[in-house]
Amino acid sequence: MDKRIKALYTITIIAILSFLGMQVYWLYGRYEFSLTEYERDLAEQIVECVDEYNHIREKSSDQRSDYLKKQNQSDDVLTVPTFSLRQEYGDTVKTTRTAKILTYLFSAHELLGLEPGTPLTKEQKDKAMELVQTNLTTAADSLVFDASGAKDEKEAWAATSNVQIERKCPFRVEGLDSILTKAGITALTTLTNADSTVWNSMVDYHKSALNPTLSVTIPYSQLEGRIATITCEINPFEVLPGMWLTLMITLAVSTLLIVCLVLQFSTVLKLSRLDKMRNSFISTMIHELKRPISTLKMCVSGLDNERMMEDAAVKHEVLSETRNALDNLSAYFSKLRDITFNNVEQIPLNIQSVNLHELLDTVAAATVFPADKSVIIKNNISPEVEASADRSHLYNILNNLVENAVKYSGKSVEITATASENSGNAELHIWDNGNGISSGDLKHIFKRFYRGKASAGEQPGMGLGLAYVKLLVEAHGGEIYVDSSEGKGSCFTIRLPQ
């Protein structure tokens, strides 16, 4: 990878990660907001449930007084609570406010001077209540509270009334729970006594976004400092549905952007690879063409030399070299032409019966091997094995495989060829003891312009040889595959119809 592409790759990765990070941060913020909204709604519902329960308690405390009266021989006992609020002012500023609840007990019959047990008429009852108001002297029970925290007189009066309600109908966890359950809220309620007077409800929002818990504290008897704490565990998945549209849009936009970036980067990479391939193709083409052209140049100068041409043997050699060089050029151009065909059916074939043993011998004899390598070709193909093929194409196939076996090997090369006949096909195996092919390269080596990672820099080539071989094999209706292990060698197998 060149420097610019490396930089682009790093920038792309940083851009994707930063974008994802920002998206996660933004989504988290959105989730926190939705969670707080959800908790606010839930807290409101809880407060409504407590209000409803207080209302029920208030009603039942009224009924309970009537019931108590009845229990205490009905008309005879009158229980009268009186409330008083004492406010002290220093100049014009209020300094203290004290709430007092006094409870008086009277016997109606005693007040009216009647025999105990005499049934009372409505008028007698009203008269007894009237007399009570003028006889409030000795209280049976007295409660005094500091009500300075109340925001106004109304709140202080409401708080004294709550004390009365609590005395007649105490706040019960089960009572509130049944109302919460009816409203679909699962919560844990605990009743406690606060050290100081609590006047206002308090909502404690989640501390952890992953495991959120909402806690609502409601004073149900402010003057006595009695509070109910309702705690709800929130399932984050209950909050997510409210965000599904945001989530979907974010996911779609993120995917689109990431796909865009990845595509852009892979296109740049592809273009750069193509550029490299083009350069390597041009330099290899120049290199490949140079050889036959310089041979031709030499031959032409030989032909121009009359003295040399007088020698029949030399003349014959020069002409044969000229023919070889021209054959090489022509083979090279056919290879280039064939490789550009997209459809194997376009390749012209002159099918005939070809003897594989004899053809390999021809290839081995004609191939020029590097002087610094010792090459042994073991032709173990049975002399009778034949394939139906275009001889020149099959020659090129074998030539490419043998040249590759030599090119991608050490100093001492051993190539073994075997063949077998199998259900109407001739199967040809070319083994070598060369470098072998890595598993990463193995699946790509038949692609055009693909060069093995290890060999690309060391050996000349365009990555067209095996693509060309495969194309020609397929044009014959055959198959080619390879078996290789790195460091040990490779075996190319060609199956051709007979």
Cβ proximity to ligand ADP: between 81 and 478 the closer is: 478
**Identified binder of ligand ADP from the candidate list 462, 472, 494, 496, rule CB under 6 A:** 462
DSSP state at residue 408: T
Q: How many residues bind ligand ADP (CB under 6 A)?
A: 22
Instruction: Give every CB contact of residue 309 below 8 A, 6+ residues apart in sequence.
Output: 302, 303, 315, 318
Does 386 help bind ligand ADP (rule: CB under 6 A)?
no
Q: How far is the CB of 338 from ligand ADP (least distance, A)?
A: 14
- Residue 435 is a binding residue for ligand ADP (CB under 6 A): yes
Least distance to ligand ADP, CB of residue 347, Å: 17
Distance CA 314, CA 408 (A): 36
Helix (H) or strand (E) holding 227: strand 226-233
Say if residues 238 and 70 touch (Cβ distance below 8 Å): no
> Is position 398 an interface residue for ligand ADP (rule: CB under 6 A)?
no
- CA 386 – CA 427 distance, rounded (Å): 10
Residue with tokens 């391939």: 277
Q: Does 360 bind ligand ADP (CB under 6 A)?
A: no
User: Rounded distance, CA 497 to CA 492, Å?
Assistant: 17
Which of 212, 292, 463, 478 binds ligand ADP (CB under 6 A)? It is 463
- The overall longest dimension of the chain from CA atoms, in Å, is 171
Applying CB under 6 A, which part among 13-21, 267-275, 353-361, 454-462 lies near ligand ADP? 454-462
Q: Which stretch binds ligand ADP (CB under 6 A): 186-194, 256-264, 385-393, 465-473?
A: 465-473
Is 217 a binding residue for ligand ADP by CB under 6 A? The answer is no
Judged by CB under 6 A, which of 81, 212, 292, 434 binds ligand ADP? 434
Q: Could you give the CA distance from residue 399 to residue 406 in angstroms, rounded to a whole number?
A: 11
Q: Which is nearer to ligand ADP, 26 or 481 (by Cβ)?
A: 481
CB-nearer residue toward ligand ADP: 280 or 498: 280
494 binds ligand ADP, rule: CB under 6 A:
no
Separation of alpha carbons 209 and 234, rounded Å: 10
Rg of the chain taking only CA atoms, in angstroms: 52
| DSSP assigned state of 92 | T
* 3-state DSSP assignment of residue 86: strand
Contact with ligand ADP (CB under 6 A): which of 156, 360, 405, 496?
405
The residues of the shown chain that bind ligand ADP, judged by CB under 6 A, are 404-405, 408, 432, 434-437, 441, 445, 450-452, 455, 461-467, 490
